[in-house]
A = this chain, B = another copy of it.
């Protein structure tokens, strides 16, 4: 399995409080957690906003089974072209994991269609992350609930489409709640939102969160490596499907 961890990587360089938590960047912690989980069974790369093409070239995405995305303050600096490129790869089968405030990233809005906004916040709050589907592979081996001593409260209503699979709901100290682990299918790909991961606390160093990240990667990965295919108009309408390759293509023809 080939995994790529993308990070905005600004606050860790500009804000000493965040640098103290994640000295090598949030992506380094996420990648380390995935390396622990998969060992030799995965290749893990990283990419960041300030790299050329944000580190997400066609080649990088073509070789990625699951892309993790952490972002917070610079959503508007992600190039339109890269947003569209990532979307095209997700529709072709690449998994995408939206971490924490990446739910407000433009790629989230492009794939989900809603504003992806949520209500209210509070920092430093204890988070109890409850599994509501205990038999789901994403919950495998996790305590119920996962307890994080400090995070950031994100509350309902969260403006996302009803998830195809709702795995986690978080409860906060003020009685607020959030659908904090949501899975959707888009095209041939899968998208997962994991709310945990406020930058002020070492949440991606937490063993339960690391296990969750690994489980999510397994869930989000395509059955076979994805392949982007351009739309085409079938030239044999009556029998197009007889000649179709055994694995159908993601985008087969367009209505005239």
Chain A interface residues toward B at CB < 8 A? 72, 87, 91, 93, 101, 103-104, 110-115, 117-122, 126, 128, 130-137, 139-145, 152, 154-159, 161-162, 164-166, 169-177, 179, 184-190, 222-224, 231, 234, 237-238, 240-241, 244, 246-256
- Per the bound structure, the CA–CA distance linking A122 and B156 in Å amounts to 23
Contacts of A140 in B (CB 8 A): 223-224, 247
Are B115's CB and A113's CB within 8 A? no
- Per the bound structure, the CA–CA distance linking A176 and B154 in Å amounts to 15
Known pairs A141-B247, A224-B140; A186 contacts B132 (CB<8 A): no
- Per the bound structure, the CA–CA distance linking A251 and B113 in Å amounts to 14
Can you name 14 extra interface pairs (CB under 8 A) apart from A140-B247, A145-B175, A171-B177?
A72-B255, A114-B186, A117-B253, A131-B157, A131-B248, A134-B250, A135-B185, A135-B188, A162-B165, A162-B166, A164-B164, A164-B165, A169-B177, A174-B238
- Per the bound structure, the CA–CA distance linking A159 and B144 in Å amounts to 14
Closest 7 pairs (CB-CB, A-B): A135-B188, A144-B248, A171-B175, A128-B175, A140-B223, A171-B177, A111-B113
23 A-B pairs whose Cβ atoms sit less than 8 Å apart in the complex: A121-B255, A121-B256, A122-B237, A122-B238, A128-B176, A130-B155, A130-B157, A130-B176, A131-B157, A131-B248, A134-B247, A135-B188, A135-B190, A137-B223, A142-B246, A143-B244, A145-B175, A145-B241, A152-B255, A162-B166, A169-B169, A170-B177, A171-B177
Residue of B nearest to A195 (CB): B255
Partner of A252, one of B119, B223, B234: B119
